[in-house]
Amino acid sequence: QVQLVESGGGLVQAGDSLRLSCAAPGLTFSMYRMGWFRQAPGKEREFVSGISRSGGRTLYADSVKGRFTISRDNAKNTVYLQMNSLTPEDTAVYSCAADPTVSTVPESNWSRYSFYGRGTQVTVSS
């Protein structure tokens, strides 16, 4: 069974940074493209960022471009999301997702991912 475990969330002030991690023990990690999604209370889930299997290609939502950076360490079976210049609008539950694929490009569509973590709460106060 695939298990994705997010960590690194918390309560921060506007302008602060956080780094989220998503560990995927037991996976042949390099065969999975990975993504980060978020859902704020009362809002639909939205794509944040995606990364290809090798890490060579990344994709960002316009709302986070230039502030967030996705990366992965295939040796550690972990994907990261470095979040800088956080704003209250970034407050949400952040979840990672994994998709076993032969594709070499990242994916922004939640429904195309096969496995999901439970998420970690990020709260940004003004």
Question: What are 33-81's pLDDT values in tens digits?
Answer: 999 999 999 999 999 999 999 999 999 999 999 999 999 999 999 999 9
Mean pLDDT of 80-102: 97
Question: Which pLDDT score is estimated for 115?
Answer: 95
pLDDT of residue 1: 76
Contacts of 45 (CB under 8 A, 6+ apart): 37, 38, 39, 110
pLDDT at residue 26 in the model = 84
The predicted model gives 26-30 an average pLDDT of 91
**Strand ranges in 1-126 using DSSP code E only, listed in sequence order:** 5-7, 10-13, 18-23, 32-39, 46-51, 58-60, 68-73, 78-83, 92-100, 115-116, 120-125
Instruction: Name the average pLDDT for the chain.
Output: 96
- Percent of the chain whose pLDDT exceeds 70: 100
How much is the pLDDT for 73?
Answer: 98
Q: In this structure, are strands 18-23 and 10-13 parallel, antiparallel, or unpaired?
A: unpaired
